Amino acid sequence: MSDPAPRSSAGASKPAILTVDDDPGVSRAVARDLRRKYGEKYRIIRAESGESALGALREIALRGDQVAVLLADYRMPSMSGLEFLEQAMDIFPFARRVLLTAYADTDAAIEAINVVDLDYYLLKPWDPPEEKLYPVVDTLLDAWHAADIRPILETKIIAGRWASRSSEMREFLARNRLPYRWFLADEPEGARLLAAAGHDDRTLPVVVCADGSCLLDPTDTELAEYFGLGTTPAEDFYDLVVVGGGPAGLGAAVYGASEGLRTVLVERTATGGQAGQSSRIENYLGFPDGVSGAQLAERARRQAEKFGAELITTREVAGLEVDGPARLVRLTDGSAIAAHSIILATGVSYRRHPAAGVDDFAGRGVFYGSAVTEAVGCTGQDVYIVGGANSAGQAAMYLSKWAKSVTIVVRAESLEASMSYYLVQQIENNPVISVRPCTEVTAAHGDGHLEQITLRDRVSGAEETVDTGYLFLFIGAAPRTEWLDGVVVRDRHGFVVSGQDLTVDGARPPGWSVDRAPHHLETSVPGIFAAGDVRADSAKRVASAVGEGAMAVMLVHPYLAQP
């Protein structure tokens, strides 16, 4: 088998083959054998620890270069080859993965096939390489080349420092894990780029594309199309439409597509939902060291696409219609997607804060949930967080790595009533974080951006104005289901009612058209199901949302099979 031609644009570096082994002798031998066969067309990079290898991968990603193959030794101190490959997947998800093992470690290799979607495992020693190493690498390079993954070209974004649209754009790009470099127009490099592009600060934000062209204050849809995200359905009719790309929606998309249903997922902003904005989820099954919401969402998205689910972003649903056996999802642009069945997994949104002036500074010092995106900007600052649930606690722990101080403002007497025990303990042991119980924000002040907030003690009534440039809000959840009005039954808070909760004294819901009771997650319209946080009385946890997404698909099957 011939060595495939590497995939790179003019002037770009050669794709890399990276090998990591803590034994210097073995590390040099692997690199030597690889360089002898592939050194002309590929960069051969070797590392002697998982940590240094991950550092090298991050540098390669920042340069916009590619990695074709990863070879990692299983037995390494501090970070095994399996742990390295699992983290490397999040940096280069399309790189082919090989585990180097001794004969006694073949069970680990089998485990790796499930955990990191391993492509191959090699038993050491591999001499002669012409028989045991090169044929394997040739096959993997052929497969990598055939995937035709486009190289990441550098995109530059020039933005205003306190412009709300600039903040929204950065949040959109970060949540969709799209590569870019960020420049502020009032700093020398940003001003130089803006002038070179032939524009001024009246056109901000400006996206300088890899080919030199510019997008002036683009919409999210224009950004999505530029970066190659799907924004238009490929078909007119599906077996299943999933509305919402949070944990429940992604779970439904994975199970629907894997079970052979023609599945499309429609998401307004980015896959992951509120969970995707979490800096660290430490109580999700299977991740003992925790996982960021963005990593979890990205893996689920790749998994859904692997099984053939179609993912549509930057499309907002405006209405739902029933047309005989078809169910139609109406989008705000006037188009529609029809299907046999629908799963509503729209989750919830953070409630807007009612205090005077708060929303005047949205994106200009006041942020709803955007802790991960804005964290670096908080370096050395006094930061305030409003909220007492897990999302607020996770944000506080993450921001404490950069901020001078983090203050959690909570109306309740303590955090224990609404936050997981493990997070409460972490916060109590973090010297950067303090908690102000029985306190609320009553006003926000500033000239063009947030500079101060007013705090009120709910017991004494005393007020205090404090200096801060950053206020993060995590204040409860609203389902935002007004678009379902008149179609499916909702409770007084707007959450979708499903299953046995629809029946009163054995009576079926008004308009129920089939001769059976509603399935467990089925709404008041047959064939329309609800999963995750949007459903009334749901558990409001990531794991339960994923489970409900999978269960909803299980219930779709008997609905589709009925005459």
Identical fold, 16-147 and 359-476: no
CB 71 within 8 A of CB 98: yes
Would you call 85 exposed, middle or buried from its count of C-beta atoms within 10 A (0-12, 13-18, 19+)?
buried
Domain 156-226 annotated CATH 3.40.30.10: yes
CA distance 401 to 73: 32
Q: How far apart are CA 544 and CA 531, in angstroms?
A: 9
Q: Which CATH class is domain 359-476?
A: alpha beta
CA separation for the pair 294, 91 (Å, rounded) = 12
CA distances from 260 to 197, 251, 298, 304, 488 (A): 48, 15, 22, 12, 27
Distances (CA, A) of 177 to 90, 174, 468: 10, 5, 29
CB 331 within 8 A of CB 316: yes
For the domain spanning 16-147, the CATH number is 3.40.50.2300
Q: List Cα–Cα distances, 522 to 366, 514, 533, in angstroms.
A: 38, 12, 15
Q: Show me where the domains of the chain are located.
A: 16-147, 156-226, 237-348+479-561, 359-476
Model confidence, pTM: 0.78
Q: Among 3.90.1720.10, 3.50.50.60, 1.10.287.130, 3.30.559.10, name the CATH number for the domain at 237-348+479-561.
A: 3.50.50.60
Per-residue pLDDT tens listing for the chain (563 residues): 434 444 444 345 789 999 999 999 889 999 999 999 999 999 999 999 999 999 899 888 767 788 999 999 988 888 888 889 888 888 888 899 998 887 656 666 666 566 667 788 888 777 888 988 999 999 999 989 887 565 555 788 999 988 889 989 988 998 888 888 889 999 988 888 888 888 888 889 999 887 778 999 999 999 999 989 999 999 989 999 999 999 999 999 999 999 999 999 999 999 998 888 888 888 888 888 788 888 899 999 999 999 999 999 999 999 999 999 999 999 999 999 999 999 999 999 989 999 999 999 999 999 998 878 888 889 999 999 999 999 999 999 999 999 999 999 999 999 998 999 999 999 999 999 999 999 999 999 999 999 999 999 999 999 999 999 999 999 978 899 999 999 999 999 999 999 999 987 778 888 898 999 999 999 999 999 999 999 999 998 899 999 999 999 999 999 999 87
